[in-house]
Amino acid sequence: MSDKSKINRVETPIDQRETFVSLSKNFSEGSLSVSEKLQVLYALQQTDNEIGKIINLRGALPQEVETVEEELTSLKAKIASIREFIGGLEAEVEAHKQGIVDVDAEYNRYHEQLGKVANSREFDSINKELENLGYERQIHEKNIGELRMLIAEKKDAIEIINDRITIREEDLNAKKAELENIVSSTADEEKALLDKRAKYSSQLDERTLSAYDRIRASVHNHLAVVSVYENSCGGCFNAITPQRLVDIASGNKLVICENCGRILVNPLANAE
């Protein structure tokens, strides 16, 4: 019964392998003081929020560009496979053409013999051969006709795909141009923020950074470090006990939200 209520209390899906809780014992270690570390974490979170806003400006465009690029790749692969198929059909046409050449040569040979026949039996036999060769030639011609029709159909199919490619390439170029426009308009700002991010990251030890990144990735609002909001956690809005509020306000204690696992900070502490 009590076990069940415990399980139900775990609401926010946070990866438990490396959390701020598992780091808390070692949090005061390293070159930074606890309050400095908290300030760096908060600054890192603020920087990531700003980077997030820039990324959000791009909306669905990066995904759309990727989708169109994938479609184009698949359309081009389709054309390549149809071309290969046509190549096979053309080889068959050539084989039948050669068949006709061979049939004609044989026909001429028999036809010459026809003038030199000794009896009517031989005459009938040669005529039978000539007749058969005539059928054989017709079959080759029929096959060539059918193959050429199939080749024409396949070429039409390529044309239809090519039209689709032209349209999608125009879409792609428009989307890319739009995206590049947005990216370049925020490039300087983004560069500055990424530099800032690198600076803050370098000040933190690997485990803290890994916990920060993991929690940020696992929660919907991408906040791993939050401030207090009306005596509640700014991440999950669960109430914070008065003693913990005092600890947070001091700015030199690691306080982790018991409900969501986010770090709670006082942004104003030591910010002089």
Residue ranges in contact with Zn ion by CB under 5 A: 233, 235-236, 257, 259-260
Q: In the bound complex, what is the minimum distance in angstroms from residue 197's beta carbon to Zn ion?
A: 23
Neighbours of 271 (CB within 10 A): 10
Which of 58, 137, 42 shows the shortest CA–CA distance to 98?
137
Q: How far is the CB of 72 from Zn ion (least distance, A)?
A: 45
In the complex, what is the shortest distance from the CB of residue 13 to Zn ion, in angstroms, rounded to a whole number? 13
Least separation in angstroms between residue 52's CB and Zn ion is: 19
258 Cβ neighbours under 8 A, 6+ residues apart: 238
Between residues 172 and 228, which has the closer beta carbon with respect to Zn ion?
228
Task: Give strand ranges (E) for 99-254.
Answer: 225-229, 232-233
* Minimum CB distance to Zn ion smaller for 10 or for 105: 10
Task: Closer to Zn ion by CB, 46 or 143: give it.
Answer: 46
Order across the sheet with 232-233: list the strands.
232-233, 225-229, 263-265, 255-256
Closest to Zn ion by CB, 32 vs 236, is 236
DSSP string, 42-101: HHHHHHHHHHHHHHHHTTTHHHHHHHHHHHHHHHHHHHHHHHHHHHHHHHHHHHHHHHHH
State the nearest-atom distance from the C-beta of 232 to Zn ion, in Å: 8
Please identify, using beta-carbon distances, which residue of 86 and 257 lies nearer to Zn ion. 257
